Amino acid sequence: MNKIRVGIAGAAGYTGCELIRLIERHPHAEICWLMTGPTHAGKRLRAVFPHLRAVHDRPLLPLKTLGVEKADVVFFALPHGEAMALVPEFLAAGTRVIDIGADFRLKNPGLFEKWYEKPHASPQLLSEAVYGLTELHREEIRTARLVANPGCYPTVSILCLAPLLREGGLDCRSLVIDAKSGVSGAGRGLSLKTHYAECDEDLQAYSPLVHRHLPEIEQELTFLAGQTVTVVFVPHLVPMIRGMLATVYACSSGKERPESLQDQYEAFYRDEPFVQVLDPGELPRTKDVWGTNRCEIAVRFDPRTGKVIVIGVVDNLLKGASGQAVQNMNCMFSLPESTGLDLIGVYP
């Protein structure tokens, strides 16, 4: 079988370098080119990511290069708003696209404009784009031309809630998602918020109630529940490089018993290679999924208050970004989903 030819647009950020790592060790894919924005275009990869000096030393092409070698699939790992104008020409050329950014996640162009404060450049593609939470949409992903890879917070939040919402009976106005992320989620761009002396030994909530991942979460949960779901979403910045943990609080429908909840979650994810429901005595730690594409989930029922608590962890750069993107690529090219993703976490 010929290797899948992969282009990466946005190779100089953290999701970009994770993609390079994964594709370089993928048995059925290979990089054909790397592009990046104007800051780094024209440099060699080694100058931007010295840790890759032993791997290879490709040139970083500028974005929008015409006449670039035809790839089978292009990953976009760009700041939001930059992919949406470029995607149509790749699709037109017969290249499939996986956008790790936010441009194609919301189905409603008005919602996109409200949250991202600019009109969408390719609104005609929004209905076609498949939301790339593989566990929920793999059938459509197989044949998709355009996959909108989920945000990191939505990935872990939706995986925590999907078994509950599919089942029905939940009080859908009662959902609280308290999420915590390592600092790499903010990317490689400089800011005082991610300046070492400012964020080390600090913890803060940010964008409570108004984070851009909120409409994406509600859109998917509404789809799952078959009724309007509203969510309270408060993200926090944690002084660690990687890792994301969501603690989700829901009012039960009154029918749950602890055993059945556990069974329900185990059944829902039984055949999933990357989602594991922990045993009743276990709790997830971000370190346990560090460097892997895995999501680990624990579920608890509180009989005193009638609340269901679900705790989930992912590596924000892998299952929360580049790992899931490769999982989607595998799906699109009829490979087993875990191809090239059979990673064992580096511990400690």
Q: Which residues in the 270-289 window bind a copy of itself by CB under 8 A?
A: 276, 282-289
Q: Which of residues 57-116 bind a copy of itself (CB under 8 A)?
A: none
Say if residues 291 and 343 touch (Cβ distance below 8 Å).
yes
CB of 231 to a copy of itself, least distance (A): 8
Q: Is 165 in the site for a copy of itself (CB under 8 A)?
A: no
Q: Does the footprint of a copy of itself cover residue 194 (CB under 8 A)?
A: yes
- Residues between 303 and 322 that touch a copy of itself (CB under 8 A): 304-307, 309, 311, 313
Per-residue contact string for residues 37-56; x = within reach of a copy of itself by CB under 8 A = ------------xxxxxxx-
Tell me the window of 2-10, 98-106, 150-158, 244-252 that interacts with a copy of itself (CB under 8 A): 244-252
Q: 152 catalytic, yes or no?
A: yes
Is residue 278 within 8 A of residue 296, CB to CB? The reply is: yes
Nearest distance from C-beta of residue 140 to a copy of itself, angstroms: 27
Instruction: Using CB under 8 A, pick the residue from 14, 76, 90, 153 that binds a copy of itself.
Output: 14
- Position 253 contacts a copy of itself (CB under 8 A): no
CA dist 259 and 199 (Å) reads: 40
Of the residues 17, 32, 152, 331, only one is catalytic, namely: 152
User: Would you say 204 and 180 are in contact if contact means Cβ atoms under 8 Å apart?
Assistant: no
Nearest of 306, 258, 232, 291 to residue 21 by alpha carbon: 291
Q: Tell me how long the chain is.
A: 348
Choose, by CB under 8 A, the member of 115, 116, 223, 249 that binds a copy of itself.
249
**What angle is formed at CA 204 by the lines to CA 199 and CA 210, rounded to 5 degrees?**
120
Residue 230 neighbours by CB distance under 10 Å: 13
Binding to a copy of itself (CB under 8 A) within 166-185 occurs at 173-174, 176, 178, 180, 182-184
Distance separating alpha carbons of residues 348 and 346, to the nearest angstrom: 6
**Count residues contacting a copy of itself (CB under 8 A)?**
82
User: In the complex with a copy of itself, which residue's Cβ is closer, 276 or 328?
Assistant: 276
User: Token match 């791997």: residue?
Assistant: 55
**Nearest of 187, 216, 121 to residue 321 by alpha carbon:** 187
> Of 212, 32, 179, whose CA–CA distance to 111 is shortest?
212
Question: What are the catalytic residues?
Answer: 152
